[in-house]
């Protein structure tokens, strides 16, 4: 009798694992991980909301309106985008058709410390039946309205194809939070 229960528990355990995997990840989702380094110069940190849009060579993209809310991994109470920090973010979103080759990094300019100096953004992407890819974007720029270049956006475009030169956002999926489904944007 004990042997039968043990075998039944094993089947239930495997069934539980299969159901869990099926509900957690869709096959068309990818996992995006962003490593963002804030500069170590004086007043480099910010309290602003930082968004990131990633593009592939076909012009399709994924927009993350608030990196911290979407996938901040540094723990509760952690202060993101502070001077000298290497911050880590990770979350799911729809897979792009090709490796990431362009990005739009934007500060909303809010908060008492709105200026931000970003050294770099490094992105890794992986998904089911997809090759893992990695892309480093050197930023080395202030995102501020009171410091040169007086812009709240840094765009880096290393795409080789003609389709990626237009980074307007009309072919972008938006992901808002850890459990929020992506919504196609028509911005």
Mean pLDDT across the chain, nearest whole number? 82
Q: pLDDT-based confidence at 78, cuts 50/70/90? A: very high
Domain extent at residue 163: 27-185
Q: What is the pLDDT of residue 26?
A: 52
Mean pLDDT of 172-179: 64
Residue 105 β-bridge partners? 52, 154
Identify the CATH number of the domain in which residue 90 sits: 2.60.60.20
Residue 74 makes CB contacts below 8 A (sequence gap 6+) with 80, 87, 88
Q: What is the pLDDT of residue 175?
A: 74
In a domain, 21, yes or no: no
Q: What is the pLDDT of residue 171?
A: 65
Q: Are 115 and 142 in contact (CB under 8 A)?
A: yes
Q: Are 148 and 39 in contact (CB under 8 A)?
A: no
In a domain, 22, yes or no: no
**For the whole model, what pTM was predicted?**
0.77
Mean pLDDT of 154-183: 65
Helix (H, G, I), strand (E, B) or coil at 184: strand
Q: What is the pLDDT of residue 113?
A: 87
Mean pLDDT of 58-77: 93
Domain count along the chain: 1
Q: Are 61 and 130 in contact (CB under 8 A)?
A: no
- Selection from 95, 159, 81, 84 nearest residue 127 by Cα: 95
Helix (H, G, I), strand (E, B) or coil at 68: helix
Q: pLDDT-based confidence at 166, cuts 50/70/90? A: low
In a domain, 52, yes or no: yes
């Amino acid at each position: 009798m004990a042997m039968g229960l043990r075998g039944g528990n094993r089947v239930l355990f495997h069934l539980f694992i299969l159901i869990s995997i099926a509900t957690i990840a869709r096959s068309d989702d990818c996992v995006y991980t962003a490593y963002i380094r804030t500069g170590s110069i004086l007043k480099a940190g910010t309290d602003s909301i930082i968004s990131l849009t990633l593009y592939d060579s076909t012009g399709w993209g994924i927009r993350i309106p608030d990196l911290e809310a979407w996938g901040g991994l540094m723990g509760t109470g952690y202060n993101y985008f502070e001077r000298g920090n290497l911050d880590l973010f990770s979350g799911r979103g729809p897979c792009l058709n090709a490796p990431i080759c362009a990005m739009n990094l934007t500060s909303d300019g809010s908060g008492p410390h709105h200026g931000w100096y970003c050294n770099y953004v490094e992105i890794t992407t992986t998904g089911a039946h997809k090759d893992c890819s990695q892309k480093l974007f050197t930023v080395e720029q202030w995102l501020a309205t009171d410091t040169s270049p007086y812009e709240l956006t840094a765009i880096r475009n290393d795409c080789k194809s003609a389709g990626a030169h237009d980074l307007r956002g009309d072919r972008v999926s938006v992901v808002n939070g850890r459990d929020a489904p992506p919504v196609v944007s028509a911005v």
